[in-house]
Amino acid sequence: MENKLQHLQTLHFTTKTGKVYDIPLSYQLFGKALHSAPVVLINHALTGNSDVAGDNGWWKSLVGDGKVIDTARVTVICFNIPGNGFDGFFIDDYENFTVEDIAKIFLQGLKLLKIDKLFALVGGSVGGSIGWEMLALENNLAEKFIPIATDFRTSDWLHSQCLVQKFLLESKEKPLEKARIHAMLCYRTPESINTRFRRERNPEKKILKSHDWLNFHGKRLSERFTLKAYKLVNQLLMNIQGNENDLEKINAEIHLIAVDSDLFYPAFEMKNTYDFLRLKNKNIHYHEIRSIHGHDAFLMEYDQLNNILKPIFASIVTKSWEENES
């Protein structure tokens, strides 16, 4: 299926704060034609977008023909978080939005596409948090829920990091670059950076190679992302307001995937969620990526992710669709 950017009708949406917006929700489809196969919804992370597979796909190592999320067998859909700018739409007064609002917008999008049931809902980082909110609102939406390196609410630690981001994003000079440099230190770990750079210097620039690497990431993001979009998604990260009682109502089989070295969404927080729901007799499983690379490991440790995801998808996707067809 052609994976070009598509738009739904403009949504007349009222936020939790009571503000009304016209939202031009955009998305991309990959794989089988819609309504001809099981559907997998993938929610993108902070600076991601709907381009999840194909030549430029940010998760093309996992999503594609013959990959673990096999587009020869399923339909993959990915919405853009409204205001991320990938479709040219931005939101000025971003502080009116929470993750619950984005979840409601995505649910409206699924209804407009006449998608009543997902085989799987997958989300990394803030995308997984949006997934928690979607299932809290629509308990029977997905057969499988796979939140990766994420949690259902903003912890004090996460809020604090995002507060620093907010301060940096309000800088007069190079706000995006400053925020991204700080964020990279949250997404990686001391061991990851120390092992990679070993105090080596760039002889031409006369700075540490680690310093040069941070500058590179700051500059690159400022070239492909906008300040408005970054402020919006940072606002979302600060306002993930899931409720434990709502989690108990979710009927999906849940597969939590943590990263043992994650400094952004620490593994122990995901373990706490697992322990809580296990005691409530929910169908929940805990998996852990072992890596020195921290939060970004879900975008790096593809062999481990493949090994975790393969039995979830390979053993159930075809069976699930055949049952629905019979």
Going by C-alpha positions, the residue among 59, 43, 60 that lies closest to residue 99 is 43
User: What distances in angstroms separate CA 33 from CA 25, 30, 106, 243, one per listed residue?
Assistant: 20, 8, 19, 36
DSSP codes joined into one string, 314-325: HTTHHHHHHHHH
Going by C-alpha positions, the residue among 199, 165, 163 that lies closest to residue 182 is 165
What is the distance between the alpha carbons of residues 34 and 214, in angstroms, rounded to a whole number? 41
pLDDT for res 187: 97
What is the distance between the alpha carbons of residues 75 and 117, in angstroms, rounded to a whole number? 12
User: What distances in angstroms separate CA 78 from CA 43, 44, 65, 260, one per listed residue?
Assistant: 6, 7, 16, 27
Domains in the chain (CATH in brackets) are: 6-155+241-325 (3.40.50.1820), 156-236 (1.10.1740.110)
Task: Dump strand ranges (E) for the chain.
Answer: 6-7, 11-14, 20-23, 26-31, 39-43, 63-64, 69-70, 75-79, 118-124, 142-148, 201-202, 207-208, 253-259, 284-289
pLDDT for res 326: 42
- Digitized pLDDT (tens) for each residue of the chain, 326 residues in all: 458 999 999 999 999 999 999 999 999 999 999 999 999 999 999 999 999 999 999 999 999 999 999 999 999 999 999 999 999 999 999 999 999 999 999 999 999 999 999 999 999 999 999 999 999 999 999 999 999 999 999 999 999 999 999 999 999 999 999 999 999 999 999 999 999 999 999 999 999 999 999 999 999 999 999 999 999 999 999 999 999 999 999 999 999 999 999 999 999 999 999 999 999 988 999 999 999 999 999 999 999 999 999 999 986 545 544 555 54
The pTM of this model reads 0.94
pLDDT for res 281: 85
Specify whether the CB–CB gap between 267 and 149 falls below 8 A.
Answer: no
Specify whether the CB–CB gap between 148 and 132 falls below 8 A.
Answer: no
DSSP codes joined into one string, 233-290: HHHHHHT-B--HHHHTT--SEEEEEEETT-SSS-HHHHHHHHHHHHHTT--EEEEEE-
What is the distance between the alpha carbons of residues 319 and 316, in angstroms, rounded to a whole number? 5
Q: For CA atoms 310, 316, 318, 324, give the dihedral sign.
A: negative
Beta bridge partners of 40: 76, 120
pLDDT for res 191: 97
CA 268 to chain centre: 19
What is the distance between the alpha carbons of residues 242 and 36, in angstroms, rounded to a whole number? 33
